[in-house]
Structure formats: C-alpha cells, structure tokens
Structure 1
C-alpha cells in the first residue's frame, strides 16, 4: 500500500545519525485505515460566468455559478466574494446558476436567506434536491429549464440539519404550498420527494412577497404591449432597489469607490 508522505512521519524513529524510517507499528494500522477512509467535504465553488461581450462592462460577468457540496462557512465565503469586488458581484448576482450536489441544510438556509434579499434569478438545468432545492427557492425568479426539484429530509442524526420549524417557515415564505409540504413530510423516508410539474407550477416563478410588492408598486397588467413593458420596467427598478439595500448591508465597513458612487442611485431606483 502506498502511504502518503505526511503519514510516514507518524512512525519515523530518531536514530543515532538522524531520523531513520522504521516499520509501521501494527497498532497504528487500524488508525491509518480510518484516516484514509474519512470522507472529504469540499466547499462550494463560486465562479463568475457569461461576461458582457463589449461596451463599458466588457468582461464583467453576468451570472454566478454555484457548484459542489454545501458545508458550514460557505455563506461567509460568498459574502467575502461580494466584499472583495462589489462591482463584479453586483452584476453577477442577477443570475445565480445552481449545480449544488447536496450538503448541510442549515448552511443552505443561511445561504438562501442571503440570496433571497438580493432578488436574483435562480436557475438549475439538472436535478436539484435537498440543499440545492432550498437555495433554488430563494430566487425572486425561479427558472427550471430542465431537471427536477426535490425535497429531502436529512436523517435525524445528520450534522448540519436545519431545524424543522425554521425550514417550514422558510418554505412557506418562499411560496411552497402547504399541501406540498405536508405530502413531503408524510413521506417517512430519507429519500427525495420530487415535485411534480404541477407542484412546481403551483409553487410559482415568484415568491409571494415579490408578487405583493409588484402588485402594490407597479401598474396593472393588461393585454397591451405598453402595459407589459411598463410592468417589466417597474419590476426591474423594484429589484434593483431591494438588491441595493441588501448589498449595502453586505458591504458594511467596506470603502469601495464604485459602491460609494452608485449606492444612492441604485437604492432610489423605483422612486
């Protein structure tokens, strides 16, 4: 068996002229086997994509891709990404593409709360379950070009399991219908409850709070093109303003020239 160099040092014995490797003590072999068998949790990967092809923003990303397994600390890493380059993060967070393979549901709720305040489009083009579904529901616009959305109950003994009440409140706030939630909870296995097409449609493209703000602040939609474009412009201004207030909180204590120049303009977009 090949032993990594760092493990070899566990049984190096000092000799008269230095450190001389000796045979591995038999008592250490079970320990070594356990160490080599330990699962390795990899944090999420955040990557910018789809840059503007030309103009003053040429090269600036128009979307953020989130992939990998969710682990504790990933939300803080996203916040650090925003604080490091606010202008890049502002444009990229308009569209969040998800390829999350699973992970810590408590951390998924933290990440979802952070993203929900930024009003992004959340997009997944493959099966998205458990932690991924929690984050997908955070979008102001939820898009599912392909794949399925699945709810998954973590085992009772699982580390990083989101509290049931907290998860239920989040699902309802984001628009998951109560009957869908009850059907999922009645599924007494650790498997995935895949939402049907009808259940996805009932959950809706927009969370309820976004729809309520659109109804209160934007003109009513009728069958004319003028009405459609007026609502679309109003919705864009609403998103920009809400996103700017959340962005301002993430950048607390950061003296960034771009944000200093644009903060008030973006926060006052709907007015």
Structure 2
C-alpha cells in the first residue's frame, strides 16, 4: 500500500510539472460553458446578423429544455473535443516512463506491476474525472440560468454513467501508451478508436451493448427523459469488462518486459 501511495503521489507531481492541473480543468470549463451559451444566444446572433437576408430561425432552438441542452454538452462538446483532449493529455502516461528509463528503474524496485499500473490509472482517472465533473457542473449552472431547471438527481446519475465512459478512455489510452513508443501514434490510435466508438453509437442495438460509449448515450437519455433505461445494467457490465481487459493487457505487456525489446 505504501508503494501504491508513492506512485500516486508521483503521478500528481508529474501533472503539476506539466501544468496539466491548470490547462485540463480550464479546457473542460470552457467546453461546459460553450454549449449552453451558444444554444441560448445563437438564434439572436443569427437574427441580428442574417435575418434580413432570409435566414430562417427555428423557434425550437430557443425553447429547448434544460436536460436537452445539458445532454448536448456531453454529445457536442465532451464527446468530441473533450475526447481528443483526454487522449492527448494521457498519451505520454506510460510512454514517457519507457523512453526515459523510469519504467525499468521502477520495476527493479520492490514494486509490483499491478501497483504501478493501478497508481497510473487511478491517479490520472481521478484528475481527469475531476476536470470533467468541473466542466459538467459549470454547464449545469449555466443551463439552469439560461434554460429550464434540470433535476439535480438526474444530473448526478447521468454524470456517474458518463464517468464510467471516462474511465474506459483513461484505461484504453494507458494500454495504447504501453504498447507503442511514439506519442503521435498513441494519440492517433486513441482518438480514432474512441471517436469511432462514439460515431457508431446508435447504429445497432447489438453494437450498442458492446460499445463502451453506450454509457454516454445512457447519460444523455437520463438528462432528456428523466428516467434510467432498464438496459443500463448490461451496458455497465460490458464497460467494466472492457476496462478490466485493457488493464489486464497493460499488466501482461509490462510483465513480459516487451518494452525492453522494442
């Protein structure tokens, strides 16, 4: 447990050195503010700039419910630019240790691979989750100010579902960072795969059950309808299985010391 705590502290110190503790929360605060503000003022802006040229303003844009706007924050902001930002912030989580020899050094000490990987994933997940929640709360406040109020319990349930999707993003990017040495390749594979999961969401009920991004869809449904889909339990189980698989692959890859043979 002492080794685990030391590894956790090492990760947080590294985040401070990279100024990640500043820019990542600010990015998600910006994303959280953008959707409700744009949704509220866009009809007025279009009317002022282009109304005289025949642009038709859909009245439903200004009549959106708060839950719909908060759900669109997840879909249009967090699941697009947010995914890219998370992948970029995580691309060097293990690759840096491999390149500078820190990984080999740590594993020659009385530190288990499970503790090392656990410290990496948990520390980074706590930080990324806090950044996402901060942006989500800011968006929640703006939605309640500019649109109809969103039930706080529904917002909490939706955030818990979404954070499970965030955990998969962190564990998957950590796995890719373990396998590859180039940060560019790590970021590219992570972004393409994670955005791909989000893009194919909704194409088929079967693929939705197997798609880790389904937790994002479940979160949006809670915000829009105010009810939890009965199928969510299966989505949760599948996502947890995917997370465990990514962690197992990461542990076995490092245990095999393949990073020394690249």
TM-score (norm 2): 0.29
Q: Which has the higher strand share?
A: 1
Larger radius of gyration: 1
Q: Which has the higher helix share?
A: 2
